[in-house]
Amino acid sequence: SAVISQKPSRDICQRGTSLTIQCQVDSQVTMMFWYRQQPGQSLTLIATANQGSEATYESGFVIDKFPISRPNLTFSTLTVSNMSPEDSSIYLCSVDGQPGRNYGYTFGSGTRLTVV
């Protein structure tokens, strides 16, 4: 299965600032997924990023708040913009197993964000 390097692993940020999270995959993948895990909650999908096209956002998430880049088939970034304490969460990127669904999903190690 794919190996994902995600960074930073954690950060403490001031409200009103932005943080960009990076995910690098060791193989080419069509779709990359970004999830948020709020404290004590399960994972919620933010958006799906395909190379060469705009990301597809889930209900409740908007591009202005969570812009995503997908410049190639091995890399993606998620930016959390104009942060507030409510954005304090673990953010995770994910890819489906190669080749395809039969191998399940792989996740990055997560970014633990605290906004003060």
Partner 1 sequence: KQEVTQIPAALSVPEGENLVLNCSFTDSAIYNLQWFRQDPGKGLTSLLLIQSSQREQTSGRLNASLDKSSGRSTLYIAASQPGDSATYLCAVFPSSGYALNFGKGTSLLVTP
Where does this chain bind partner 1 (CB under 8 A)? Answer: 1, 6, 10, 31, 33, 41-45, 48, 58, 90, 92, 94, 96-97, 101-110, 112
Tell me whether residue 63 or residue 105 sits nearer to partner 1 (CB atom): 105
Least distance (Å) between residue 106 CB and partner 1 = 7
Least distance (Å) between residue 108 CB and partner 1 = 5
Tell me whether residue 65 or residue 112 sits nearer to partner 1 (CB atom): 112
Tell me whether residue 82 or residue 113 sits nearer to partner 1 (CB atom): 113
DSSP label at residue 86:
G
Cis peptide before 8 (omega within 30 of 0): yes
Cα separation, 95 vs 27, whole angstroms: 10
Say if residues 85 and 116 touch (Cβ distance below 8 Å): yes
Least distance (Å) between residue 73 CB and partner 1 = 16
Q: Is 60 helix (H, G, I), strand (E, B) or coil?
A: coil
Least distance (Å) between residue 17 CB and partner 1 = 21
Half-sphere exposure of 40 (CA within 13 A, CB side): 0
DSSP label at residue 9:
S
